[in-house]
Amino acid sequence: MAQIPSHVPAASYPSPKAVVQLLKPITWFPPMWAFACGAIASGAGIGDRWFPIALGVLLAGPLLCGMSQAVNDWFDRHVDAINEPHRVIPSGRMPGQWGLAIAIAMSVMSMAVAAFLGPLVFAAALVGLALAWGYSAPPFRFKQNGWIGNGVVGLSYETLPWITAATAALGHAPSTRTLLIALLYGVGAHGILTLNDFKSIKGDQQMGVDTLPVLHGAQNAARIACLVMAIPQACVILLLAQAGLQTGAMLVGVVLALQLLCMIRFLGDPEGKAIWYSALGVGLYVTGMMAAAVALGSLTLPAPPLG
């Protein structure tokens, strides 16, 4: 089992900087973006519901996502000592059991905010909380299998925030079409999560973490990731076109075509180009999400007054 380096000086509590590094603000973007997509897709506008929507953004990003990062780093501290020893826990900058304590505290805060937003939001947040702990913590530890773990994260980071935001904006559950598109983007995010696994193949093999690159090899895992990202977006295009939202369907089609061009380069060198594709292709993916959300929102916007 990996040990914290002996040269790291002992500390009784973490610095504020170490806490921020544990919560990884850069990872808050996907669920916050998905939450924004859900609010826009509802067509309700902000209006009098700006406060619950703002609280929902806080819930989706800093609280639930930040909590999930703390949980993951705590239960991954030994494999991180192999793959990324500079991380805040294996490096010793987050001493003792502070990582676990922060994860528990943020779980409690998340549920308090979710309860304030109503029973539907509370139920969605409770599901997200359970998935976040189950992803990293035994006995479930969904991340041990790339098929299950990446699916859990995709649904938690994209589908749940989208649905939660639409519910908070509307005050009731969104349309079936919105639910389907939110689900499709969550499924597609499975492929995005696979991109992150290429950088840690060696450590995952040593620790018995069955990511897709470990299970199927880098080349096959890259093909799977590309298919899993592309097929749901093609389905979104069909749903938008079926609803008469031709502009939205065309915009999602354009960003999908650009992603396909990037995928060709990624497939030529999966391990070398995974980070490159993650930076470029994921940006296109979430751009398509917003285009779909704006199109859905136009369905429920009130008609302009005559005259």
Q: Where are the beta strands (DSSP E) in 49-95?
A: none
The pTM (predicted TM-score) of the whole model is: 0.85
Residues whose CB is less than 8 angstroms from the CB of residue 204 and which lie 6 or more positions away in sequence, other chains included? 79, 83, 197, 210, 211, 213, 214
**Which residue ranges make up each domain of the chain?**
16-300
CA distance linking residue 69 with residue 188, whole number of Å: 21
Architecture of domain 16-300: Orthogonal Bundle (1.10)
Residues whose CB is less than 8 angstroms from the CB of residue 114 and which lie 6 or more positions away in sequence, other chains included? 59, 121, 122, 124, 125, 126
| The pLDDT of residue 199 | 84
| The pLDDT of residue 173 | 83
**CB contact at 8 A, 271 and 218:** yes
Joined together, the tokens standing for residue 69 give 């990062």
**Distance in angstroms between the alpha carbons of the first and the last residue of the chain:** 74
Instruction: Burial-class residue 287 by CB neighbours within 10 Å (0-12, 13-18, 19+).
Output: middle
| The pLDDT of residue 301 | 55
**CB contact at 8 A, 214 and 204:** yes
| The pLDDT of residue 304 | 46
CA distance linking residue 32 with residue 242, whole number of Å: 28
For residue 52, the Cα-to-chain-centroid distance in whole angstroms is 21
| The pLDDT of residue 81 | 85
| The pLDDT of residue 6 | 45
Ranges of the chain with pLDDT below 70: 1-11, 45-48, 300-307
**CB contact at 8 A, 224 and 216:** yes
Angle between helices 50-58 and 98-116 (to 10 degrees): 160
CA distance linking residue 74 with residue 68, whole number of Å: 10
